[in-house]
Amino acid sequence: MQLVRQMRPSSGNRVWRGIATVLLLGVLGTACGTEERPAAQGGGPGAHGRQGEPGAEARQAPPRTASGALAAYVERFRRTQAARAVAARRWGLKRTPLLPPAPPAVKPKITFRKGFEVGDPSLPPVFTTVPTRDRIVFLTIDDGAEKDPELLRMMTELGIPYSAFLSDYVVKDDYAYFARMRDRGVALHNHTLNHRYMPALDYDEQRREICGQQDTLEKRFGTRPTLFRPPYGNYDADTLRAARSCGIKAVPLWSAEVFPDRMEWREWDRDLHPGDIVLSHFRGRGDWKGSMADMVRRAMDTITARGYAVARLEDYV
């Protein structure tokens, strides 16, 4: 998939990952018990975590100055993965989710996906995959109609990062739910005020939809995001010009979409690729054949079985 320029990991990261992989071979077997693991686990153990997030301590960059310090890090990693294995069984996952690598020191350069351009490369780029060689994907959830407390518990206990793209017309009846989500480290992004089909609107109308949601997100959650996803994934040049005027820097779409009972694919090979963005929605049994927890199980069983970890989108874009 030729979407954006690939970036090579530094030689230092390659050396560290080689060392860490050797040390962790036995650790993973202990942590994951008898669960089947895919052959390609990718990345390495030095994954990013936030204060208070499950696994955050073990995913801090380990000391590299002494074998004793490295061994202590491996032990913390083992305990973290053991806890994740317990949570995975409790939530009915087939495998323990893999930990992503540490985020890059420098974020990759994002450009328009081929065929998604609008004639002005200076506008916020529209893309479906982030340039990386790590076996990671990004989970994003749109709109905000379903406020399922089980989702908050599940994602916190599993330590899985995700990003929310919110539309005010379905969020405003319970801002507190998304405030709790924000407090757990989830980034909240712009999905317009009213989820209208953007190309049918003129520039001023589009700007009101996007800038109005920027104002709402700032007022309610204290953040003015730089990422925007147009409703239905539809946009035109006016959409991107309006988004830029509202402070938007990038427009992530998606390569795959997950439901409780299936995955849908954009690419011809119906597979995941390093840096792919996965879409879902805040929906429940009234719209789906299952709950949001069922959706997460479907997503994580597919992602983990194919040897990928879920990383935090904001660490890369």
Segment 200-217, tens digit of pLDDT: 999 999 999 999 999 999
Per-residue model confidence (pLDDT) at position 65: 63
Is residue 3 predicted with pLDDT exceeding 70?
Answer: no
The pLDDT-based confidence of 76 (bands split at 50, 70, 90) is confident
Per-residue model confidence (pLDDT) at position 66: 64
pLDDT per residue as tens digits for the range 48-74: 344 334 444 444 445 456 678 788 878
Biggest distance spanned by C-alpha atoms of the chain: 63
Give the rounded distance of the alpha carbon of 51 from its chain centre. Answer: 18
HEC sequence for the chain: CCCCCCCCCCHHHHHHHHHHHHHHHHHHHHHHCCCCCCCCCCCCCCCCCCCCCCCCCCCCCCCCCCHHHHHHHHHHHHHHHHHHHHHHHHCCCCCCCECCCCCCCCCCCCCCCCCCCCCCCCCCCEECECCCCCCEEEEEEEECCCCCHHHHHHHHHHCCCCEEEECHHHHHHHHHHHHHHHHCCCEEEECCCCCCCHHHCCHHHHHHHHHHHHHHHHHHHCCCCCEECCHHHCCCHHHHHHHHHCCCCEEECCCEEEECCEEEECCCCCCCCCCEEEEEECCCCCCCCCCHHHHHHHHHHHHHHCCCEEECHHHCC
Is residue 98 predicted with pLDDT exceeding 80?
Answer: yes
| pTM, to two decimals | 0.80
Per-residue model confidence (pLDDT) at position 58: 46
Residue with tokens 């994002």: 110
- Considering the chain, what is the average pLDDT of its residues? 85
Per-residue model confidence (pLDDT) at position 220: 98
pLDDT per residue as tens digits for the range 31-41: 343 343 333 33
Is residue 13 predicted with pLDDT exceeding 80?
Answer: no
Kindly list the structural domains of the chain, giving each domain's residue range(s) and its CATH number in brackets, ordered by start. 11-90 (no CATH), 126-315 (3.20.20.370)
pLDDT per residue as tens digits for the range 125-141: 999 999 999 999 999 99
The pLDDT-based confidence of 30 (bands split at 50, 70, 90) is very low
